[in-house]
Amino acid sequence: MFPHYNYGGNSEYYIFVCGHCKNEKRVRKMPYTGNMCTYWSDGRIEACNDWQISYMQRCPHCGNYYFVDINEAERGFGSEPLDDGRVDIEEYAAVCSDREFMESLPPEVMSYLFMQYVQQYNDTYRRASQAEEEKKATYEQSRMFTEAVLFLTEFCRIPEILIADLYRQAGMFRKCLEYAADNYNRIKEEDLETLDRTRLLAIQGETAPFIIKREDMK
Ligand SMILES: [Zn+2]
């Protein structure tokens, strides 16, 4: 973990350069939020420094999207920029529904974007602590959620427990239960409790992600 140092209002930030227009933007480093890491059943890991800065960035100058490698990014030091480097659900939806753009990307980038969409959707509409306003997803957004889940479960190498829970989150309860039964023997012993939770919630018709574990990072 990398603590967030802040000397008299100045702090370290990232400098990302747009591949289209070559202009740069400054993105602040996420504050250090604590020692606990929370693992969710949609793959979201909360409270880890830097993890919330999106790999995909939108250029404030030309409006195009580009990808950044945070570990390689140049860093600067000075007054903290306002931009936190996050991409919201509408922006992910716009990108994920742009077929031409998506098909031009390597498969691992496509799966990253769909995964981000799923987690962002859950952040916005379902994760209890952040969904207090009872915001409702649009029909188009929930359709995109299902499309993202189908892509992730069919074409990506992701753990079986994640696949089962993604089916559930997309409301495909029967498919979730069938998949869980068919793959039960392939699930690691320590993940069986999580799988059982997924099955129970599928039977109850619940779609929200749940917390798998909290871990002390010290
Ligand atoms: Zn640009």
Reported as a single tens digit per residue, the pLDDT across 55-81 is: 899 999 999 999 998 889 999 999 888
Q: Looking at residues 168-178, what average pLDDT do you find?
A: 98
pLDDT for position 21: 97
51 Cα to the center of ligand 1, angstroms:
23
CA distances (Å), origin 192, targets 150, 160, 166, 175, 206? 23, 11, 16, 18, 19
CA 131, CA 149: separation in Å to the nearest integer? Answer: 21
Mean pLDDT of the chain: 88
Do 13 and 4 touch, CB atoms closer than 8 A? no
Maximum distance among all Cα pairs of the chain, rounded to whole angstroms: 58
Quick: pLDDT tens for 96-132. Answer: 999 999 999 999 999 999 999 999 999 888 886 555 5
60 Cα to the center of ligand 1, angstroms:
7
47 Cα to the center of ligand 1, angstroms:
30
From the list 82, 67, 87, the residue with the least C-alpha distance to 17 is 67
Q: How confident is the model at residue 1 (pLDDT cuts 50, 70, 90)?
A: very low
54 Rama class: left (phi>0) / alpha (psi -120 to 50) / beta: beta
Do 197 and 210 touch, CB atoms closer than 8 A? yes
**The residue to which tokens 């929200």 are assigned:** 208
Amino acid identity for residue 10 in this structure: N
153 Cα to the center of ligand 1, angstroms:
33
59 Cα to the center of ligand 1, angstroms:
5
From the list 198, 171, 173, 170, the residue with the least C-alpha distance to 184 is 198
79 Cα to the center of ligand 1, angstroms:
22
The answer, yes or no, to whether residue 11 has pLDDT greater than 90, is no
19 Cα to the center of ligand 1, angstroms:
7
